[in-house]
Amino acid sequence: MSNERVLAALAGVIDPEIRKPITDLDMVAGVSEDAAGHVTVGIRLTIAGCPAATRIESDVLKAAESVAGVGNATVEVSVMTREQRQALTEKLRGDKAVRSNPFGPASLTRVYAVTSGKGGVGKSTITANLAVALAKRGLAVGIIDADVYGFSIPGLLGLVDTSEGGSRLSVKPTQVGDMILPPVAHDVKVISIGMFIDDAAAAVAWRGPMLHRTITQFLTDVYFGDLDILLLDLPPGTGDVAISVGQLLPHADVLVVTTPQPAAADVAERSGIVAQQTGQTIYGVIENMSGLAQADGSVLELFGSGGGEEVARRLSAGQDTPVPLLAQVPLSVALRTGGDAGTPVVLADPADPAAIAIEAVAAQLATRSRGLAGRSLGISPRL
């Protein structure tokens, strides 16, 4: 009987959305072998029309047929019952209370909120590239795109329907019961306000309480699994989302993105100050759209110079630890085209100076651990 060997091989099949072996997710309904030695594997998908169905089916077939002596196998696909789905979501949530925020102060995940004063300074482009650069280093990374006015993360990571006649809208996340599975791009788990909007052109006119509920739901109902790093792409400025994130994730560190333009420093500083007021620490400033090296060796400073240094200097006054300027990411055609194509420059053209500058920030973030300060150790003294 090859059933046990087939089961062992199936343990190597990973659900592309949940990122765990299908054997741990109770997705294998059974393995049988008839008198002629033909093997049939039954699998249960989480939901009907699961977008990962074709991939799971072909990976299961490949795994089963890789077992010596199996030859051609058959895969029979069914869908979990409501009870099985419920059991799966409970298993995934583990011992954590249902619908609690897994990124609270006790969490081992490092949370970074990426903010900017003005729009269009490249905050989302930097967030997407940083996430991919961190994932390339083997870290488990997630992004919450909370930029309600410019949810561009799905496009920057290629999570759009680009098929002929496709809508160019964000792909939709799979929902298993009350659990939302974030789509994965370039090894990064992504959830975006854009994934819940049917008309890309629709103006997002949400007010504070609605935004707060959405961010809360992203934190509690999206299954990110164990993340090393969670990045939040906030809308520019000092609005409701920044305040909600400050309340929900007061231990988050903040990355402020600004351009070199000295005039932009004032607004960038204000967005940092809001973060500091909600108890968050500014981890550093990233200057984007810095000087572009020319063929003759000169540097074209389209947006001036000095803005990043200035914002870092001013924000340092508001906290105990000085705020460093982490990087100056130059203007870059490759950075822009990588974003347009959904393949971030750190993957598409890692030798580009903008990719190198972003990689340097990723290297710094990757080596920080959450530390134990302020966290409950889950033990109580014996009296």
Ligand X SMILES: Nc1ncnc2c1ncn2[C@@H]1O[C@H](COP(=O)(O)OP(=O)(O)OP(=O)(O)O)[C@@H](O)[C@H]1O
Numbered residues of the known binding site for ATP: 117-124
308 closest CA partner among 268, 276, 271: 268
Q: What share of the chain is helix, strand, coil (3-state, %, to 5)?
A: 35, 20, 45
Does 116 bind ligand X (CB under 6 A)? Our answer is yes
Does 158 bind ligand X (CB under 6 A)? Our answer is no
Residue 222 DSSP one-character state: B
What binding mask, one character per residue, do residues 320-359 give for ligand X by CB under 6 A, x or -?
---------x-xx--xx--x--------------x-----
* Strand, helix or coil for residue 39: strand
Distance CA 79, CA 57 (A): 13
Does 147 bind ligand X (CB under 6 A)? Our answer is yes
Q: Which is nearer to ligand X, 111 or 357 (CB)?
A: 357
What binding mask, one character per residue, do residues 12-51 give for ligand X by CB under 6 A, x or -?
----------------------------------------
Q: Which is nearer to ligand X, 46 or 152 (CB)?
A: 152
Distance CA 313, CA 141 (A): 30
User: Any residues with CB less than 8 A from the CB of 145 and at least 6 apart, and which?
Assistant: 124, 151, 152, 153, 154, 190, 191, 192, 193, 194, 233
Q: Which is nearer to ligand X, 55 or 336 (CB)?
A: 336
Structure tokens at 282: 């500014």
Burial class of residue 149, CB neighbours in 10 A (0-12, 13-18, 19+): middle
Q: Site for ligand X (CB under 6 A): which residue of 115, 125, 170, 261?
A: 125
Number of residues that bind ligand X (CB under 6 A): 21
Distance CA 189, CA 186 (A): 9
Q: How far is the CB of 357 from ligand X (least distance, A)?
A: 9
Nearest-CB residue for ligand X: 150
Structure tokens at 217: 């739901």
Strand-pairing partners, residue 75, are 41
Does 148 bind ligand X (CB under 6 A)? Our answer is no
Window contacting ligand X (CB under 6 A); options: 64-72, 78-86, 122-130, 192-200: 122-130
**Binding to ligand X in span 235-274, by CB under 6 A:** 236
Instruction: Please give the residue ranges that form the binding site for ligand X (CB under 6 A).
Output: 116, 119-125, 147, 150, 152, 236, 288-289, 329, 331-332, 335-336, 339, 354
